[in-house]
Chains A and B, each alone.
Chain A
Amino acid sequence: MKSSVITFPGSNCDRDMDVALKKFGFKNKMVWHNDTELPKSDLVVLPGGFSYGDYLRCGSMASKSKIMKSVMNFANSGGMVMGICNGFQILVETGLVPGVLLRNKYLEFICKNVFVKINNKKNTYFKNIDNDVLEFHIAHNEGNYFCTKDQLKEIEDNEQVAINYCNRVGDLEEQFNPNGSIKNIAGIFNKKKNVLGMMPHPERMIDPSLSGEDGSLFFNNLINNLK
């Protein structure tokens, strides 16, 4: 399976993602934001970081960079595109996934492990995964997912919510919501479920000696689903 990770000026999780993808069998290529063509890929990843210094709105500048035209064409023709953290912020700015990510409710940069409950397993990202709850890491200042009431209805009707913040056993209460996101939303799909944006970082949970292995579950499952 081939993957591409896009590096924007200010990306800082691009190499972690490269390590994670290769560890689970992807042949990964790093792609510079100023390139115009994507290498042949089964998966494109927009990594975390602070693209363009988070100027104007997080992800807004990166969403207009040269490579994004190809990424959008790829996504619109059914290609798998995953945006993590700043990558999620870039995805919402392109309009590939609905909504926006606002400043965290309590104005803090949050850096900690969280639990997320998988809301929809009928897609290439999460099907066949045994666990209902995964432990991932978050590190962000603008992860407060917001959308209009009409958008929320559409998102829920189309089963576009991918994961929600929860506790260890999967309870979805407000107290387990770290950043104020509507309905504890931590990640969402586009309508077709080939594009996934999420704030948590699975690539930080691929080594038991560092943090945990729920990211390993995620990537192993993902590459098997793509095969």
Chain B
Amino acid sequence: MKISVIITLKKDVLDPQGKVIHQTLDGMGFNDINEVRQGKYFEIDTKESDPKIAKDKVEEMCKKLLANLVIENYKIIDAQ
């Protein structure tokens, strides 16, 4: 079973990389952008076949390693 997770910076955390990407896009002519925030995406292929158990395990992984909850949020976006 494959679980997909995205990790994003919390709202009030400064994202200088996102800002630079925004400026670059702006310079390329994409002038209608309000903000760009950069995040991370993980695909975790697990032997667990029960989606509920697999999701719970991935959630634990997010809390313990994949995300730092002081600055980041995680979201499991897909399980198949």
Decide if A and B are genuine partners: yes
Are the C-beta atoms of A103 and B17 separated by less than 8 Å?
yes
Is A170 an interface residue when CB atoms closer than 8 A count as contact? no
Report chain A residues within 8 Å CB of B70.
99-100, 146-148, 151
In the assembled complex, the Cα of A107 lies from the Cα of B68 at a distance in Å of 20
A-B contact pairs, 9 of them (CB 8 A): A60-B68, A102-B13, A104-B16, A106-B16, A107-B20, A144-B14, A146-B14, A146-B70, A146-B71
Assuming the contacts A99-B70, A102-B71, A107-B20, asked whether A146 and B13 have C-beta atoms less than 8 A apart, the reply is yes
Is A143 an interface residue when CB atoms closer than 8 A count as contact? no
Please report whether the interface of chain A is mostly helix, strand, loop or mixed according to DSSP: loop
Is B65 an interface residue when CB atoms closer than 8 A count as contact? yes
In the assembled complex, the Cα of A106 lies from the Cα of B71 at a distance in Å of 18
Assuming the contacts A56-B65, A56-B66, asked whether A100 and B71 have C-beta atoms less than 8 A apart, the reply is yes
Q: Which of B13, B20, B68 contacts A93 (CB 8 A)?
A: B68
For A103, give the chain B residue with the smallest CB separation.
B16
Report chain A residues within 8 Å CB of B68.
57, 60, 93, 100
Is A180 an interface residue when CB atoms closer than 8 A count as contact? yes
In the assembled complex, the Cα of A100 lies from the Cα of B13 at a distance in Å of 11
Total interface residues in chain A, CB < 8 Å: 19
In the assembled complex, the Cα of A180 lies from the Cα of B14 at a distance in Å of 10
Report chain A residues within 8 Å CB of B71.
100, 102, 146
Q: Which of B13, B16, B65, B66 contacts A105 (CB 8 A)?
A: B16
Question: Contact residues of A with B, CB < 8 Å?
Answer: 56-57, 60, 64, 93, 99-100, 102-107, 144, 146-148, 151, 180
Question: Contact residues of B with A, CB < 8 Å?
Answer: 13-14, 16-17, 20, 65-66, 68, 70-71
Min Cβ gap B65→A in Å is: 6
In the assembled complex, the Cα of A220 lies from the Cα of B6 at a distance in Å of 47
In the assembled complex, the Cα of A163 lies from the Cα of B4 at a distance in Å of 41
Given contacts A100-B71, A147-B70, A180-B14, 4 further A-B contacts (CB under 8 A): A60-B65, A144-B14, A148-B70, A151-B70
* The 3 A-B residue pairs with the shortest CB-CB distance in the complex, in nearest-first order: A100-B70, A107-B16, A100-B71
The winner among B13, B65, B66 for most chain A CB atoms within 10 A is B65
For A106, give the chain B residue with the smallest CB separation.
B16
Report chain B residues within 8 Å CB of A99.
70
The winner among A57, A60, A146 for most chain B CB atoms within 10 A is A57
Report chain B residues within 8 Å CB of A107.
16-17, 20
Min Cβ gap B12→A in Å is: 8
